[in-house]
A and B are shown apart, each in its own frame.
Chain A
Amino acid sequence: MEFFVFVCAALMILVGAVGVIIRSHPVHAALSLVLTLFGVAVLFVAQDAHFLAAVQVIVYAGAIVVLFLFVIMLLGVDRVENLRTEPLTSQRPLAIIVSLGLIGVLVAAFVRGSDALHERGEGINIPDLTTGTDANTTQLAESIFSRYVVAFEVTSVLLVIAVVGTVLLARRTKTVVAENLK
């Protein structure tokens, strides 16, 4: 059963990822990205990270992809990138070599370092559906709000800075609006 779930989710992830990089239309690339994000959420559930799976669907597949689609619509949906031409000579073969080399290095590190993967933490509580308590969410909340509470507060500052900075970046100044009206 877990094998079946893994294969289906892996197919979703890989098909979506390949779709992101080969689709010339940005809307199609964004929808392929949704497929990949759902596949990652399925693998989160398969590994008992239930809260992160919910956040993955809500924040990534919900908010971030909608933001992408919104910007695509704002800038014009008809701007299709021409993928037939290659502006820099031998860019794609070099990119393929770099990507495959990166995958090779990572896989070699995983294979060689798999002996070092032994349990060292206090343990992860597995959610028990019969009692109705979500142990994963409780344990994650205890970790965030006790040990990492300072980092959690700093992320709120980060989000406020991001919002203010984006408003400043994206708004039109009054002089620009006046020039456009002339």
Chain B
Amino acid sequence: MIGLSLVPTASWYLILAAVLFGIGTFGVLVRRNPLVMFMCIELMLNAVNLSFVTLARQLNDINGQTIVFFVMVVAAAEVVVGLGIIVAIMRNRSSVTADDLAELKG
């Protein structure tokens, strides 16, 4: 009984990915440093990649791994543009928290 359950099935990987996604969501909601919020978005992207690879193996379909490749490319582009925006904003400011960026507040 116990021995059978000790082989990790696809559900284990998917639940781990769900927990990782939840931790990333919590970080984005709570942290106020824009850089750390970006890192939490990376956590969420990795959770999705992990579930894609798991489902690719489970469904025996290579397209799941192909889309992970494209997600990585888009994530790299997203990080580059996001960090460029952060550098452009923070160069003339002393504060770092996202709460201070309230010029558009009504």
Contacts and interface: CB of A to CB of B under 8 A. Distances in A.
- By size class, the interface of chain B is 35 or more
Contacts of B20: 13-14, 17, 36
B16 A13 contact: yes
Contact of B69 (A71, A92, A144, A170): A144
What is the predominant secondary structure among interface residues of chain A facing chain B? Answer: helix
Contacts of A13: 16, 20
Interface string B2-30: 00001110111111101111111111011
B68 to A, nearest CB: 5
A8 B57 CA distance: 20
Residue of A75, A87, A119 with highest tally of chain B CB at under 10 A? A75
Given A91-B30, A121-B59, A68 B38 contact: yes
A159 B11 contact: no
B99 A67 contact: no
B101 interface: no
Contact of B26 (A21, A64, A144): A21
Given A36-B46, A99-B26, A159-B73, A120 B59 contact: yes
Given A21-B40, A75-B90, A10 B16 contact: yes
Interface of A: 2-3, 6, 10, 13-14, 17-18, 20-21, 26, 29-30, 33, 36-37, 40, 43-44, 47-49, 51-52, 55-56, 59-60, 63-64, 67-68, 71-72, 74-75, 79, 81, 87, 91-92, 94-96, 98-100, 102-103, 106-107, 110-111, 114, 117-124, 136, 139-140, 143-144, 147-148, 151, 155, 158-159, 161-163, 165-166, 169-170
Interface of B: 6-8, 10-16, 18-27, 29-33, 35-36, 38-40, 42-43, 46, 49-50, 53-63, 65-66, 68-70, 72-81, 83-88, 90, 96-97, 99
